[in-house]
Amino acid sequence: MEREISYAEAIREATDQAMGLSPDVIVLGQLVDTPSGIFGTTTGLAEKHGRERVQDYPVSENLMTAAALGASLTGLRPIICHQRLDFMLYSLDAITNWLALWRFKSNGKSSARVTIRAIVGKGWGQGPQHSKSLHSWFAHLPGLRVAMPATAFDAKGLLLESIFSEDPAIIIEGRGLFSMREHVPEAPYRVRFGKALIRQKGSDVTLVALGAMVPPAMRAADKLRLEGIHVEVVDPRTLSPLDRETILESVSKTRRLVVADPGWHSFGAASEIIATVSEELGRSLLNNPARVTHPDSHTPMSMTLEKAYYPDEAEISSAIRSAMK
């Protein structure tokens, strides 16, 4: 039987292996050295690799991000961890004004090898300050790579790739995915940025699903097959760079497009994907493209509102049925 581990265990394994492969890899973040270890993703690493390399850091997100850049200039490859992406917003200056343009500003003579892990909360009343994804914001920036792994396999491969590459990256991790188990090879491996995956082949409609939307998208596609609708599920895996080619190739075959994006409706990743397809294939589409997203609203706490807020498998299915009309 193939080895299966959870998404959280895959992140932990990637970090552990990276630290074993290179003494330059360090982990910084609030509480990274505690037994709870960022939902199990750093548990035991301080004991194994030392508290210098796995350091609890002051509650200073802006400094932490800029300092990770400074540390990388001395040869280190820091991974910085945020238990919720919302907390890292203090570091928007460090990300936008420094990290993302470090390579550009130095005319390619210096680069910032920093990996930012940002966890997006969902459910159990996380509310408006514990649940923002903002992947579209970050993907808007030149010079910053953005990954949205949906599976344990991709979580490990994309993290290792980020750590050992030469440009900064933000990895957006859906907290809801942490328990999901999948086949993950034990040996360290890479998943390259900018390479989408066709998770399910189909000929009727292309469903591009990002990050936390991948599981409901897959379930919707499975059920729609019983209705005779063959959905091709494309998982871009990284938003920056975005594998536009694979998406366009799929849509040129199906001529229908639905995008499931775990973010706000307007000005987001779904909009960008639809714009790309419209620019290239607009005249050949059989129906208007559609997006399944969060409403343009902050996240509510109450469980009934939460249920209404997050689009689910049924909402994706209904968008696809409409696209088929």
The residues assigned a catalytic role are 130
Q: Contacting other proteins (CB under 8 A), which of 177, 210, 274, 323?
A: 177
**66 belongs to the binding site for other proteins (CB under 8 A):** yes
Q: What is the DSSP string of 25-43?
A: EEEEETTTTSTTHHHHTST
Amino acid occupying residue 259: V
> Directed axis angle between helix 269-281 and helix 244-254, to 10°?
60
CA–CA separation, 284 vs 222, rounded Å?
A: 26
**179 belongs to the binding site for other proteins (CB under 8 A):** yes
Q: Contacting other proteins (CB under 8 A), which of 175, 256, 291, 294?
A: 175
**26 belongs to the binding site for other proteins (CB under 8 A):** yes
Is 284 or 302 the residue whose CB approaches other proteins more closely?
Answer: 302
Is 24 or 289 the residue whose CB approaches other proteins more closely?
Answer: 24
CB of 154 to other proteins, least distance (A): 8
Q: Which stretch binds other proteins (CB under 8 A): 108-116, 263-271, 278-286, 298-306?
A: 108-116
| DSSP code for 266 | T
In a 3-state reduction of DSSP, which class is residue 128?
coil
Q: Which stretch binds other proteins (CB under 8 A): 119-127, 256-264, 275-283, 290-298?
A: 119-127
**308 belongs to the binding site for other proteins (CB under 8 A):** no
Is 183 or 298 the residue whose CB approaches other proteins more closely?
Answer: 183
**76 belongs to the binding site for other proteins (CB under 8 A):** yes
Is 190 or 287 the residue whose CB approaches other proteins more closely?
Answer: 190
- Contacts to other proteins from residues 218-247, by CB under 8 A: 218-219, 222, 241
Interface pattern 265-284 for other proteins (x via CB under 8 A): --------------------
Per the rule left: phi > 0, alpha: psi between -120 and 50, beta: everything else, 270 is: alpha
CA–CA separation, 307 vs 211, rounded Å?
A: 19
For 158, counting Cβ atoms within 10 Å of its Cβ (0-12 exposed, 13-18 middle, 19+ buried), the class is buried
Rounded to the nearest angstrom, the gap between the alpha carbon of residue 6 and the centroid of all alpha carbons in its chain is 16
- Here the tokens at position 198 are 């066709």
Is 45 or 160 the residue whose CB approaches other proteins more closely?
Answer: 160
User: Which helix or strand (DSSP H or E) is residue 251 part of?
Assistant: helix 244-254
Cβ-Cβ contacts under 8 Å for 250 (sequence gap 6 or more): 198, 206, 232, 234
CA–CA separation, 16 vs 84, rounded Å?
A: 21
| DSSP code for 100 | T
The alpha-carbon radius of gyration of the chain (Å, integer) is 19
Q: Contacting other proteins (CB under 8 A), which of 47, 48, 51, 104?
A: 104
- Contacts to other proteins from residues 124-163, by CB under 8 A: 124, 126, 142-143, 145, 150-151, 153, 157, 160-161
Q: Which stretch binds other proteins (CB under 8 A): 171-179, 247-255, 272-280, 292-300?
A: 171-179
Contact in structure between 175 and 152 (CB atoms under 8 Å): no
**34 belongs to the binding site for other proteins (CB under 8 A):** no
**3 belongs to the binding site for other proteins (CB under 8 A):** no
Beta bridge partners of 181: 6
- Here the tokens at position 96 are 């936008």
CB of 259 to other proteins, least distance (A): 18
Is 176 or 295 the residue whose CB approaches other proteins more closely?
Answer: 176
